[in-house]
Amino acid sequence: MTTNNQDSGQPTTAPDAAVTAILADWGTPAAGAPAAISPDNGDPAARGTTRPTVRWGALVWALIFGATAATTLWVVVDPARRDAVGGWLTSLSPLAAVLYAFIALGVVVAMFGIVGLLRRGERTRR
């Protein structure tokens, strides 16, 4: 153990001596033992020499959310565009609003399908 005492070069009690001995031998390997134990067993793939997997599903969703954010920002920044979109939304008939909602739902379902196909492709390459 360490203390703040200036002359504490050697431990004074038996427990302190035991801890000091353990800490002193912490980083040294035992006699006859290998210097480092490698979990890869010589396998280059375990050492990280292969390329990392590209997460295509995450990339697709990032592009969708980025495009949605950019479009929303583009509409909100200009008062004339904001008023035009507001006027368009208030002039929609209920049938048109339901059809637009179905189209949006279809796009989301299609994107889930595409991401699922990409994920299956990633799993087969591993």
Q: How many CB atoms lie within 10 A of CB 86?
A: 11
Q: 58-117: per-residue pLDDT in tens? A: 888 899 899 999 999 999 999 999 999 999 999 999 999 999 999 999 998 998 898 888
Quickly list DSSP for 46-102. Answer: TTT-SPPPP-HHHHHHHHHHHHHHHHHHHHHHSHHHHHHHHHHHHT--HHHHHHHHH
Q: Dig out the tokens for 70 from the structure.
A: 């950019």
First to last CA, the chain: 49
Q: 13-71: per-residue pLDDT in tens? A: 777 777 776 666 666 555 666 555 555 555 555 555 667 777 777 888 899 899 999 99
pTM check: above 0.75: no
pLDDT score of 8: 57
pLDDT score of 42: 55
